[in-house]
Structure 1
Amino acid sequence: MAYALSTIGFDADDTLWQNEHFYRLTEEHFTALLAEHGEKEVLSGKLLEAERRNLKLYGYGIKGFTLSMIETAIEVTEGRVPAAVIERILAAGREMLSHPVETLPHARETLERLAGRYRIVLITKGDLFDQERKLAQSGLGDLFDAVEIVSEKSAATYARLFARHGDGPERSMMVGNSLKSDVVPAIEAGSWGVYVPHELTWAMEHAEEPASAPRFRRLRHLGELADLVESLG
């Protein structure tokens, strides 16, 4: 049975504005600070392990990333990391939290083209204060009918949010750069899942494309979304 699309959810980080780029730059700074304690790849690997361990405690976002950098610094120096290095790690985290927002190509024009014709919902995960800051600075806030900042994205999350802000998942679409968080669980909930790749994607957001799923679509860039939506009727 076909359902007319009524609601479109958008991811935020690396779908509407740059995010992973700043994490990578900070990680490069971190590995340079601790270069005498290991090769870059080794240090990055240990940092990723710390992030993986800490997700359930700290959640997603810059604050958890900063704490994971400090934990990794303590680990690789066997507890002898200088206070000056800890201070530089904290400074790097603060810089990330105050960095200007850089919207991605086609973000505004796509939202403006769809707004008013569909219910537009921002569905993002991460630190509440940081995500609210980025949304405010992006200048895109007025284009959304609702904003949801969640701790995790799952099929249950999308089923609940698309029932709350729309006509249920069957009449909804989720758009994002993460197959693991934005696309696969949305399809599992019964929605359309639209993958818009970003050149940088965090290792923990990787997943296999659900290429055989009838409601999966992959776009080259966000500028193709409005035409796709219109083609679905």
Structure 2
Amino acid sequence: MTQNRRPPAPHPAERARTIAARGGRAALLPSDGTEDRVVPVLHHVHARGEATVLLPDGHPLVAAARGAEVTAMLEVADHAPVALREPVRGLLWITGWLRALEPREAREAAVEVAEHRPDPRLLDVGHGTSVLRLVPASLVVADAEGTSSLRPEHFAQADPDPFCAHEDHWLRHLELSHRDVVGLLSQHLPEELRGGHVRPLGLDRFGLRLRVEAADADHDVRISFSRPVRTAQELSVELRRLMGCPFLARRG
């Protein structure tokens, strides 16, 4: 009997690290239900899974987290780089203990974040903006590959996808300037999806993902590379190969 083998894809910890590195929109959700979703002034997820969050000084959550640790969850959304009718392609949830940092710690945390993510909003720390630190107890990643729970140490041991810093630019370029390439790739879609609107959805070291916006629903398709790639040159070779004979797996 022939088994329907799933194509190679990044490990859940790698997908989680990639979403964190992309730094998409975030919301903070206190577990006690006393606050609605809180949109931080700025957030940054560190390699070890801890998150630094900036909130206005007067926010009730700052006062609550200054006297004692507060259980909370940080939700980070991974948005597609092209305009889709369902733009969120992945979510990362970090649940743990939130506390407000003292002034010296806050300044040190702002400097640490600036080394990875320079942002003028960090200059407001100590001048109307407070810094909170979320220490993770568990993490969950959810996307087209599935939903997986992670321990913080597994998150810390993984690396982001090597193309995550350039993915947005490449996919927008593919969408706007190379619809012919998208058309060639779409010839290898399942027959019932070929009438839909095909859009570039994602790129990682294991392959390319397409979103088919059909009349009934959206469908995500992974086109696998023949081997994992690490460089732009290897990626170029695999993309040319895929326009000839891709290996497909349908999702959704």
Relative to the length of structure 2, the TM-score reads 0.27
Relative to the length of structure 1, the TM-score reads 0.28
Structure with greater proportional helix content = 1
Give the greater-gyration-radius structure (CA): 2
Structure with greater proportional strand content = 2
